[in-house]
Structure 1
């Protein structure tokens, strides 16, 4: 799989004429794991965001444990685009993380090649619930990307695989959602894995 293209000119709007394949990718994860940040870091267009200020109505519903600086939340979806090499473009759809928005996932997942599950190891139990819901609501392949927060505990790949109850073949990678190259590498790992599935290979041949 080709690497991410170099930084595009500011304000790039149109897909390159060399692009032969477009792929829809879902970016999912628990509340506050960095989905909006990841899409914003890799998108070659100004990302579409549906961020709204958090209000007192979320008290007791949206846990801010470990998220002291968080003041906004996604209420519909995030959208961005990244070109890999010169022939493949990824359309990224980020989902809201809160339980009350999980019903949106099935609609956003329609036509997607796979999902990148962003994980915060400070709140690993929240990520387990996300993986469980993703498997219940969709049948798409997914990869796990651990967003490396500075104060997050470190776990081995096997510890994470056990904690999240993942199949042996499910990719687990690390990334810094703020960094373009790191986030792009996580997305590339997902695409390479997802294209190994027979149904996906036929759909995107």
Structure 2
């Protein structure tokens, strides 16, 4: 495993003058005091894999590499619908009994490293320090000590179903932040996560969590697939 990660790190090495802030979707930029994902930072993501996809989309579409560790059921098609460049997305679903060395190797050469593995605080702090030293962005989805910024998505019920019929169409998410240093001031926004096309869109002012879409829906029995 570590040998393979080392090769990926060599291939993903970026020039020394690379941008200090990786871009995010314009609707997410106001959540960051730096206007995007600052290299060397630890940004915790809570409550939504869709939010993680939305954070990875712009950076990977602009040439950055990303890795996701410890999410064996991650949907690659869903990631693509959010705009993630999946040809620059490395998946390590099972990092083994010692995930910290795997994460450390990834941080050495990949721009964004997301992890759903739970680690002791001492190891987590060392990985945050490594991200700072290597100018990577660490995106933990599990409890993490003292992240620079924490984004939490509070989703509402899906719209599109009525009495067990119809299609799941969209979901409104309220996203709020807390952090330290320059990220101390809390911010919040509301977005369609996902919108009907599977991507991220700003929420319309009239949207209510339980409102039905304006256009007619094809009335079919909801399935379990």
Q: Normalising by the residue count of structure 2, what TM-score does the alignment of the two structures yield? A: 0.32
Larger Rg: 2
Q: Which has the higher contact order (CA 8 A, sep 6+)?
A: 1
Greater helix share, 1 or 2? Answer: 1
